Amino acid sequence: MKVKTAAKINLVLDVTGRLENGYHTIESVFQTVGLYDEISVDLAESISIECELPESFEKSDPIPCDERNIAYKAAKRFFEAAGIDSGCRIHIKKGIPSQAGMGGGSTDAAAVIYCLNKLTGVDMPTKKLEEIGAGIGADVPFFFTGGTAYVSGIGEKIVPVADYSGRTLVIAKGIQGVSTAEAYGAVDALNEPVHPDAAGLKAAIESGSDDAYRYFGNLFETAVQLDEVTEIKAVMLENGALSSVMTGSGSAVFGLFDDDIQAEKCRRKLSEFGFFAAVCETVSNSFI
């Protein structure tokens, strides 16, 4: 079975607290976007995985293609939950940059679970698949539905929001990556930061506001402060972006455009500067 599985961006992302167990609480609006990894899954006697990376990813995005890969862990968890003594061959063709804040690993994990649920004929309900995914990573459950969602708690509370698909984006990333642990450490060190308004964005999208983008924002951007992020944002805003924001804990940046021609012009400019850059749209589903 083969599927394409979408990346996500955080239209807004705020860190609202830290729990005694060390986990942080967030408020965010997640959105799937038309940038995809391609996942192929075949049943086999044992679990194996191989990865195919574009040349542009090889220097900046090391991806473990063994039991450390989250897709491998997803297969193992699925077979355990289903009570099946089996394995599978997983092939991942990457189109989503890693260490980008775009959920590339999480969406791969969700896709593997989704495929295995079909291939084995177990046919677990989506709620059960989400539970399996939550045991692997906080972002994994979102990808079983995708679209637009208000996310809170430690990422486990997911509430669908009015459809925000069909918006034109440019997504770009340099070679710098940010580990999640480092990013949260930087947030913890902030002194009286200005928090983005996640509830305001949710309300604006629900009301169909044309300028919901004014609520886009990311607390991690203030905390991490990467030179490449600053440069990418400047190029986007100089080339017609309505808003430009880092996604997740970094380090990819998205820009919202109301003109496809201007978006393509911006993509070319970013590519000339040596950045990974792509034009895509916000989409309403994870899997195609």
Instruction: Decide if 258 is catalytic.
Output: no
Active-site hit among 61, 108, 139, 233? 139
Active-site hit among 8, 73, 173, 202? 8
**Angle subtended at Cα 149 by Cα 145 and Cα 155, rounded to the nearest 5 degrees:** 90
| Rounded-to-integer distance, Cα 63 and Cα 52, Å | 10
Phi, psi of 15 (to 5 degrees): -105, 120
Rounded to a whole number, what is the distance in angstroms from the first to the last CA of the chain?
Answer: 12
Instruction: Decide if 139 is catalytic.
Output: yes
| Rounded-to-integer distance, Cα 262 and Cα 246, Å | 20
| Rounded-to-integer distance, Cα 189 and Cα 182, Å | 11
Nearest to 133 by CA among 176, 103, 173: 103
DSSP 193: P
Q: Which H/E stretch holds residue 273?
A: none
Q: Which residues are catalytic?
A: 8, 139
